[in-house]
Amino acid sequence: MRVFFSYFSAVIIFFAVCPVYLFGIPFVVHAQNIPVPFSKEFLEKTLEIQESSSQTELPNTVNCFDHYRFGSVKVNIDSEIKSAVSGTTFTISGTLDNENEYPIVDGAVYVKVFKKEIDKRKVQVNGHSIVDQFIALDTISLAPLEKKPISIEWQVPAHALSGDYQIATYFISAKKFNLLGLSFTDDVVGNTVNFSVLGDVRGAVSFDKYSVKTGKLKHYFISPIPRVSATDPVTVSANIINSTPTTQDVSLMWTLYYWDGVNEKNIIERKEEVVSIQSNKTRNVTYTVNDTAHSVYYLTAQITYKDTSSFLNVRFARIGKDELRINFPAISTFPIIKGTETTLFSCLHNGGFSDVVEGGKLELSLQTEDGKTIHSYTYEGGVTGLMMGVKDDFIPKKSYDNLVLVANLYQAGVLVDSVKINYDCAQIDPSGCLQNTSEYSLERNTTIMVIVSLIIIAILLLIFRKGWRNH
């Protein structure tokens, strides 16, 4: 029992002292970059520790997790078949389950397809090999507590190797906010489906995930991400393996992002080249990151061999770069009903290594379609490395079923992050639009009666005035 409490205390101390990359919040690795693998269960336990910890140390802040819950949208999927032949379409179906009591808008299901590794040592520190990654479903709106049927297809390449595969899902809002899984990781995923691929292909061209280096340090994909110099160029290297019987010329696409690889707005640079690898040989390829403007970088490398792909997603952080980020702004109820209290809230955090960054300012506003602000709130103060929350309760003077939530985040007076989220009842739940509710009908009828009464009074006044003049 004493050993258990010593281990548990060590875990808490480790996560309290070291910033790590949870939700993209930096968890730091020492300079030698020793691999520290974390299982999904371990990270979920860490989440519980973080959620239960105080997030209200700074004035005018609240616990982010009182309003935002990681894993609150489920991609419950399965397949009636457990194997697919290369060159065919593999289909999975199920439901999207919104467990929140508020709507989710501008959602997307992101998918990674893994080919399972046999070597358990490699899996422990690097996970399985990625053979595809893409946005499977987009522009998704979910009403509160809604379950929506979905279907996802993956075209199995004709030259796919036989073996065990897995489709892993993530759910993201506004191409920025993780509600299920962490899209920039290979191990913190949402719901998954396992299947096998059957075919006659014996060779492929793919990355050796175990060979990757960030600078001079070996890169581990299931581990806190490495820290690098704030100003020096960073060279990422990896080996490509050609296991086919002939020399292959393959396309290699490098894409450098800030933060993660889902939002194309985060792209900093793209570079494409052709690489030639002899049969049963390996070849080392490199990419140098010269950009120093951001705190966290995400470099994707994609090999295209015939109709197959092989991916690497290398993420690292620059020491001394603090960069504030918005994390999931929303409203507690929608449509907004006149006289009913509503909460406008958002989470935010520092994407760098400082515990607190002063000079932060987050502006939240709810606007009508034509840009008229119906409510706004501004937080000014420090922003912590762990996700913190801000909120404002208000009672609307009118009812609205079509609004835009605008969030602008400033760091030392400079706009560093922004997002617009459209709430449209016609997209979320047409039956919930105000014109279909009794409250709206009552309000509309009352308005009509007032207008008609005013018109009648105006006509009577005109008649009275005309009669008085004639008199």
Residue 373 pLDDT > 90: yes
93 and 218 assigned to the same domain: yes
Residue 340 lies in a domain: yes
List of residues 6+ apart from 461 with CB closer than 8 A: none
- The mean pLDDT value of the chain amounts to 87
What's the burial of 93, exposed, middle or buried (CB within 10 Å: 0-12/13-18/19+)?
middle
Number of CB atoms found within 10 A of residue 399's CB:
17
pTM, full prediction: 0.83
Higher pLDDT, 422 or 56: 422
Q: What CATH number has the domain bearing residue 345?
A: 2.60.40.10
278 and 423 assigned to the same domain: no
Q: What CATH number has the domain bearing residue 314?
A: 2.60.40.3880
Residue 62 lies in a domain: no
Instruction: Render 368-413 in DSSP notation, one character per residue.
Output: -TTS-EEEEEEEEEEEESS-EEEEEEE--SS-BSEEEEEEEEEETT
Alpha carbon distance 256, 321 (integer Å): 17
Predicted pLDDT at 223:
86
**Boundary (domain end) residue, out of 261, 292, 321:** 321
340 and 289 assigned to the same domain: no
Tokens 């835009």 locate to: 404
**Boundary (domain end) residue, out of 252, 286, 321:** 321
Average pLDDT over residues 372-390: 96
Predicted pLDDT at 16:
36
Residue 44 pLDDT > 80: no
Q: What strand order describes the sheet that includes 388-394?
A: 324-331, 342-350, 388-394
266 and 232 assigned to the same domain: yes
427 and 342 assigned to the same domain: yes
- Residue 120, helix vs strand vs coil: helix
113 and 182 assigned to the same domain: yes
Predicted pLDDT at 436:
60
Alpha carbon distance 363, 419 (integer Å): 11
What is the per-residue pLDDT across 282-338, written as a single tens digit (0 to 9) for each?
999 999 999 999 999 999 999 999 999 999 999 999 999 999 999 999 999 999 999
400 and 456 assigned to the same domain: no
Predicted pLDDT at 447:
60
Residue 128 lies in a domain: yes
Residue 56 lies in a domain: no
Please provide the distance, in angstroms rounded to a whole number, between the alpha carbons at the two ends of the chain.
104
What is the per-residue pLDDT across 72-96, written as a single tens digit (0 to 9) for each?
999 999 988 899 999 999 999 999 9
Residue 257 lies in a domain: yes
**Boundary (domain end) residue, out of 263, 289, 321:** 321
User: Could you give the number of structural domains in the chain?
Assistant: 3
> What phi and psi values does residue 5 have, to the nearest 5 degrees?
-70, -30
156 and 170 assigned to the same domain: yes
Residue 48 lies in a domain: no
274 and 163 assigned to the same domain: yes
Residue 283 lies in a domain: yes
419 and 453 assigned to the same domain: no
Residue 262 lies in a domain: yes
Residue 445's domain comprises: 437-470
Average pLDDT over residues 219-244: 95
* Burial letters 293-305, b for 16+ CB under 10 A, else e: ebbbbbbbbbbeb
214 and 309 assigned to the same domain: yes
426 and 449 assigned to the same domain: no
Range name among 124-138, 148-162, 441-455 with the lowest pLDDT average: 441-455
Average pLDDT over residues 382-411: 96
